[in-house]
Amino acid sequence: MVSFYSCTTTQKQKEKKPLLVDDKASESCLNLYQKLNEISKKGFAIGHQDATSYGISWTQNDDSLIIKSDVNEVVQDFPAVYGFDLGRIELASDRNLDSVSFVTMRKLMVDAHKKGGIITISWHADNPTSDGDSWDKTPAVAHIIKGGKNRAKYELWVERMANFIKSLQYDNQPIPLVFRPFHEMNGAWFWWGDPNCTAAEYKQLWQETVQLLRDTHNVHNLLYAYSPNKLNPSDDYLKYYPGDDYVDILGIDIYDFKNAKEYTEAVVKDLELVKNIAKEKNKLYAFTETGLETISTENWYSEVLYPSIENSGIAWVLFWRNGRLDHHYMPYKGHSSESDFKNFEKLSKTLFLKDINVIKK
């Protein structure tokens, strides 16, 4: 565990920062944490999953010299947060589960970091027991924690992921990442989710994954983010929480399923809960996934989402990917929500790439 301090400009007082999971965290990783902390005081960074990997009617080719983004096409600025997924890295595949080449992904991560962007990674790993995908609910966690029959297989998977993460360098320095593994564990749709494993098994898997990355493979450029799905009335946000020593950032995933009233009520309630827990634990927190598929509600960004998160204190909000015309969460040039998104971009708390590059640590 590591603690670090940030001084005021007058150098008259020091503000103690939270302990981090990794006591050997790279300088760039420490800087990322500080940057996120400063962003949360100004507003919230706007993020987009696979922002530069592909969009509506285009993909980023391995040899392309042009970095595109649907967001940039609309507001002439890139997202501040770039989301990527490492699913299938565990299989030594050359492409992830959304057909993004890992060579291309590395290039795009370097570009995002070079531009001052923040990178967050998720991991939709295949099911290590059945060899199905992440949504194959065959119980698997008990088989990959210590003593499980597939433990050696899982250790190989983590090694492959570690090798990729360590290959992410800029100016011979590691690129810092927010790693958000095994998300939405309180939902039933992933093999690592309830009821496909117990809370105790989940916590053990998380802790052992951190130990493998940090201690066995010497990966020191990660901040670890914990993100359950939207809470049902009986849900306990901390039921699967692996402990303060294993989490740097708290988050939550909430989607609008074409019911703005229900969505805004959940966002306000759940983010307030996350905020209170984060304050108590002295940790950062974020809105780690959200969106309205195809953005069918009029003025959704400015009138539904923004009022719900304006004063929430989150460090960032990540919108999901623009995969297809029937599966996208950000506007593209010519979309009916384009003008609303331009209004959203002008609001005081929304921070895009240019905005976060002027925030001083």
pLDDT, one tens digit per residue, over 64-98 is: 789 999 999 999 999 999 999 999 999 999 999 99
0.85 exceeded by the pTM? yes
| Three-state DSSP class for residue 2 | strand
Region of residue 123 (phi > 0: left; psi between -120 and 50: alpha; otherwise: beta)? beta
Q: What is the pLDDT of residue 16?
A: 55
**C-alpha span between 216 and 163 (Å, rounded):** 12
Confidence of residue 12 (pLDDT cuts 50, 70, 90): very low
Q: Mean pLDDT throughout 176-187?
A: 98
Exposed, middle or buried, 268 (CB in 10 Å: 0-12/13-18/19+)? middle
The count of other CB atoms within 10 Å of the CB of residue 233 is: 4
Neighbours of 212 (CB within 10 A): 18
Mean pLDDT, rounded, of the chain: 94
Neighbour tally for 280: CB within 10 Å: 8
Angle at 313 between CA 312 and CA 318, to 5 degrees: 85
Q: What is the mean pLDDT of residues 21-37?
A: 96
Beta bridge partners of 119: 82
Is-contact 64 70, C-beta < 8 A? Answer: no
CA dihedral 240, 182, 32, 231 (to 10 degrees): -50
Say if residue 6's pLDDT is above 70: no
With cut-offs at 50, 70 and 90, classify the pLDDT of residue 5: very low
Query: What are residue 348's phi and psi, to 5 degrees?
Result: -65, -30
User: How far is C-alpha 62 from the chain's CA centre?
Assistant: 24
Tokens of 28: 């760039």
Prior bond of 139 cis (ω within 30°): no
